[in-house]
A and B are shown apart, each in its own frame.
Chain A
Amino acid sequence: MGAISAAGNDISETLDSFLKVKRNAGPVTLFPTKLAYPVFEVKNLPPDYHLDGQRTLSLALIAVDQALADAGLDDLSGLRVGVCMGTTVASQLNDLQFYTSYRERGDAPMVPVDRFLKGNLAEVISRRHKTRGPALTVVNACSSGTDAIGVALSWLRSGLCDIVLAGGADELNHVPYCGFGSLGIVNPGLCTPFDRDRKGLNLGEGAGVVVLEKTTAARKRGRSSDLVLLGYGSSSDAYHLTAPSPDGIGLKISLRNVLDEAGIKPVEVCFVNAHGTGTNDNDLVEGNALAGMFGNDLKMLSTKGYTGHTLGAAGGLEAVFTALGLREGWIPPSAGFSTRDDSISLAPVREKTLVNGHYAISTSLAFGGNNAALVIGRGVRA
């Protein structure tokens, strides 16, 4: 696994932030802006990874390299390896300088265009590591990372490849910063997921990547892992472009499907790492859907209080955090939460909480009505 976010530039730093409930948010430093919403920026990006105008790609490559090192994979040649990455920002040619030049003069330099055309996340990672397998970039808004991992699972099960590098990456970018502001769902202070007085989300950035490998392939190279991806459920609300269905129908279908695919019952789930953005609608719908499926005593948290909403990276990062919770045997307090919302039947954990079980779920709810969930297991067979 590999992870980089405002919570830490690697997994060790991230766990330290979780333990100490560090919330590394602040004003925007990456671009000029008159807006004052706090953000969760990654600091001290390693210089070796700096790519001019391709911050999302830099973040992705850092997480990929961490994950490969963690998996003991330094040479992918000869292996059937797929790459599936989720993003939002890296998929769009939204360079303001380029566009300003085009608009004013009817002419613009091609450098940003070339960066964009050569910057497809999955393709760059695939070419960098000379992988032989499918390479796909998922652009499913805020569930992109979760969906990318779900696609990877389908590829592995179909035999298209033996290993997949999967996850998500996104940089903090001026355009969505303005866009989310226009939607009126950005918190002027720090986000407080599931709190009664929540006022919206904070944007963040980062990348989270997992190396998924068939058990048989891992054994051949003398490796094993007690963490297993057991299921992926995905569904659409078929309701509205920006608002979740009030009855949480899509999330409920996703949860039911992911439990079926994993072959487990709700009672076996020891915690859920929720999408929990801190917006009024998301937390209300998600909290009640989770309560309906798992009961009011479910151990649940949102890690966005540590990372902000990292959009296309969120699903990748949160899959890593969910796996870490299982591996470490504890989950951190849901940062920012203090007052229970009586309209939500479930409250997140307020302090470091021990978790003792074999299964955990990570959920993502996206713009456009997408819902996605992963079941991760520890100490169980795939």
Chain B
Amino acid sequence: MNVLGIGTVFAGGIGIKNFEEAMVSGWQTPIDVEAKWAIRGKHPVYQANLDDVPDKTILKKIRRADRLSKMAVLCAADAIKDSGIGNINGEKVGIIVATAFGAHVTTFGFLDNILDFGETAVSPTIFSNSVHNAAASYVSSTLDIKGPTLTITQFRFSFQLALQLAVTWLQQQRCDYVLAGAVDQLGDVLCYIADRKLTTARDGRIRPFVFKPTCQVPGEGAIFYILGREKREKTYCTVQSVMINDSTSQGAGTDVTIIDADGMLPDESAYLACADSGTMLAAYSPLFGTMMTGSAFNVAAGALMLNKQRYYPNPVQDNPRGLRILTDSGPAHIASIECVGYDCHSTRAAVRLIAI
């Protein structure tokens, strides 16, 4: 399965060029947003800015959609545009949307409706947008895609499972292309939960190589991939395998390992195993924030490295154990990259990418 196009919406802007620029520029301070529960009344977040969209046509089409759906549609359209393929629509294109928390902000908005106005005066529009697959539905209708359309949720491994399913759909000829990606949204309640259950980095710096104690900065965004069997002129890389809870995959022979460490777990020492194989380590969560579906962004970083044959430095390089981490930008000869994530049960997921 090949990566033919990538679309992004994140704190650094919209589009894969902005993502690459963020990787080159390095860490940027997150913004502070107000929260009544936060110490000093504010807390740091990596928030996408949808006002940056140069062409508002799509947003006009989906003006009744919520923020989650808007991020998903903008990102999916961006992925198609990036692929340069003109006919990504119709019955043979599948959609797989991975999300950890779905439209939780809209769901809480609907609960506000119930509490404020009573059971009989709630808004059908808010309810409709709160359903988990609303974002996928907007992607389908806005982009006229009529293939299998699925929304899945598996917290930390939602995106890896989406990729794994995309492989089967393509292998089994169910689709010619699959538009697969992840989307998750910031929200006051989830930020509160994250702050209570984890440690927030008050200076806004996620330190992926500290491992313990960890600190988090909530992020949001969407990232979609155009995946296909064919290789085209603009093919980023090949997804060689997606392994979840598979002990045969331990990163052997990989040039670079990108880890999903982002402060989501209080102890991320499991990632130390990735250093054992001697590969260079990278982690880009400080660019987009702490997200259950952050692996989707790290895979994009890997795809860019393979496509450009270039190293991108780690945005935050605190490295108390002296591990081999990427510190500089520059040309490279990279044959394979493994993107590794762990969940709270120390289950490992690995997406292995290889150069074209």
Contacts and interface: CB of A to CB of B under 8 A. Distances in A.
B152 A136 contact: yes
B348 interface: no
Contacts of A91: 102, 132, 153
B124 A182 contact: yes
Interface in A25-72: 33-35
Contact of B133 (A94, A135, A150, A370): A370
Interface in A221-257: 234-242, 249-250, 253
A38 to B, nearest CB: 15
A132 interface: yes
B307 interface: no
Interface string A64-101: 00000000000000000000000010011110100110
Contacts of A139: 99, 102, 132-133, 151-153
Nearest to B118: A34
A94 B111 contact: yes
A236 B147 contact: yes
Interface stretch (A115-123, A189-197, A290-298): A115-123
A141 B131 contact: yes
Q: Which of A96, A103, A134 gathers most chain B CB within 10 Å?
A: A134
Interface residues of A, number: 67
Interface string A340-373: 0000000000000000000000000011111000
Interface in B81-105: 91, 95, 99, 101-102, 104
Q: Which of B143, B150, B169, B245 gathers most chain A CB within 10 Å?
A: B150
A110 B141 contact: no
A267 interface: no
Q: Which of B102, B122, B152 gathers most chain A CB within 10 Å?
A: B152
Given A91-B102, A158-B171, A235-B148, A137 B192 contact: no
Given A140-B150, A236-B95, A250-B146, A34 B119 contact: yes
Interface string A169-181: 0000011101111
Nearest to B142: A238
B188 to A, nearest CB: 9
A238 B123 contact: no
A242 B119 contact: no
A369 B168 contact: no
B193 A113 contact: yes
Given A102-B189, A120-B155, A154 B131 contact: no
A157 B101 CA distance: 30
A328 interface: no
Contact of A370 (B107, B127, B149, B192): B149
B102 A92 contact: yes
Contacts of A93: 101, 104, 107, 189
A330 interface: no
A81 B320 CA distance: 41
A10 B144 CA distance: 42
Given A88-B132, A134-B244, A34 B107 contact: no
A136 B119 contact: no
Contact of A238 (B118, B130, B146, B196): B146
B130 to A, nearest CB: 7
Interface string B152-194: 1111000001001101110110100000000000000100110
A107 B43 CA distance: 16
Contact of B91 (A88, A99, A154, A253): A253
Contacts of B129: 241
A76 B110 CA distance: 41
A154 B102 contact: no
A366 B132 CA distance: 12
B111 A96 contact: yes
Contacts of B197: 110, 113
B339 interface: no
Contact of B130 (A138, A147, A155, A179): A179
A154 B169 contact: yes
A238 B124 CA distance: 20
Contact of A123 (B108, B154, B168): B154
B146 A367 contact: no
B137 interface: yes
Q: Which of A100, A123, A174 gathers most chain B CB within 10 Å?
A: A123
Given A102-B189, A236-B137, A237-B146, A183 B128 contact: yes
Contacts of A178: 110, 114, 119, 122, 127
B128 A120 contact: no
Contact of A249 (B134, B146, B148): B146
Given A99-B111, A102-B192, A235-B148, A120 B168 contact: no
B128 A367 contact: yes
A106 interface: yes
19 contacts: A35-B119, A88-B132, A92-B104, A106-B36, A110-B196, A132-B245, A137-B153, A138-B151, A147-B148, A154-B169, A157-B168, A158-B168, A160-B164, A178-B114, A178-B122, A181-B120, A235-B146, A368-B131, A368-B140
Interface of A: 33-35, 88, 91-94, 96, 99-100, 102-103, 106-108, 110, 113, 117, 120, 122-123, 127, 132, 134-141, 147, 150-151, 154-155, 157-158, 160, 174-176, 178-184, 234-242, 249-250, 253, 366-370
Closest 8 CB pairs of A and B: A368-B137, A179-B127, A234-B148, A139-B132, A236-B149, A236-B140, A182-B124, A158-B168
Interface of B: 36-37, 91, 95, 99, 101-102, 104, 107-108, 110-112, 114-115, 118-120, 122-124, 127-134, 136-138, 140-141, 143-155, 161, 164-165, 167-169, 171-172, 174, 189, 192-193, 196-197, 244-245, 345
Given A127-B345, A135-B154, 8 more contacts: A96-B114, A120-B155, A123-B154, A140-B149, A236-B149, A237-B146, A238-B145, A242-B124
